[in-house]
Amino acid sequence: MLMLAFESSAKPASVALFQDDALLGISTQITALTHSRTLLPMAEDLLKNAELSMSDIDVFAVAHGPGSFTGIRIGISTVKGLAWASGKPCVGVSTLEAMAWNGSSREGLLCPVMDARRDQVYNALFVNRDGRPERLTEDRPISLADLAEELRMLGRPAFLIGDGAALTASFFAAHAVPFSVAPENLLWQTAWGVGKAAQGKSLQDASSLLPVYLRLSQAERERQERLQGKGF
């Protein structure tokens, strides 16, 4: 089975091609260009170099969140369009689960963290079982203070992955929480992790593929605050 996987939930744009669970190729870039300009050209170049076309793909996978609201929408819209046009199935996976694959050779707790602002991160905890990340918690927005307390109770060092790693590391260092930070080549989200996380997941049609934001956007929060201020 040929799978084309997309990751656009944060700063990196990434596309990976799989034959079953074997990686055939990957393209990743971390630039200021919007993902709407980069994802499809990257996918087309990847397929061209593999002497394949979009019609050869059996399933499309994408990180459906949490993450950047705009980035998630771009990734999901891209995969929906490709799935609808080809009549092929798709699968959405947790961004955090996909990130955990970057630590699949590491001991200890895998701790993907994405900066969620307001002294919070999007996070879930995982541990390796036979080279696969096994989930310990659900995806959640969590304060750095609460995450630090949870890790103290677990009593194991955390391996930090993601764009929230520097922020989290600074807080943990100030509060005596043991941790290590992923090296740069393992720090960022990639479509390789999306493809690995998608293995064995139930396939879906394009109409059922939806984003998972975990919390309201800033604009929606501000609207609710204005309404509450008016007594609605």
pLDDT of residue 221: 42
pLDDT of residue 53: 96
Boundaries of every domain in the chain: 2-96+189-222, 101-187
- Would the pTM of this model clear 0.85, i.e. be above it? yes
pLDDT of residue 207: 95
Pick the CATH number of 101-187 from 3.30.420.40, 3.30.60.50, 1.20.140.10, 3.40.190.10: 3.30.420.40
pLDDT in tens, 70-112: 999 999 999 999 999 999 999 999 999 999 999 999 888 999 9
pLDDT in tens, 127-172: 999 889 999 999 999 999 999 999 999 999 999 999 999 999 999 9
* CB proximity list for 165: less than 8 A, separation 6 or greater: 113, 181, 182, 187
Tokens 């080809």 correspond to 86
CB 139 within 8 A of CB 110: no
Tell me if domain 2-96+189-222 and domain 101-187 are identical in fold: yes
Gap between the Cα atoms of 125 and 135, Å rounded: 6
To which H or E segment does residue 152 belong?
helix 144-154
Mean pLDDT computed over every residue of the chain = 92
Residue 152 tokens, joined: 């103290």
The CA distances from residue 70 to 124, 167, 213, in Å, are: 21, 22, 11
- Assign domain 2-96+189-222 to a CATH class: alpha beta
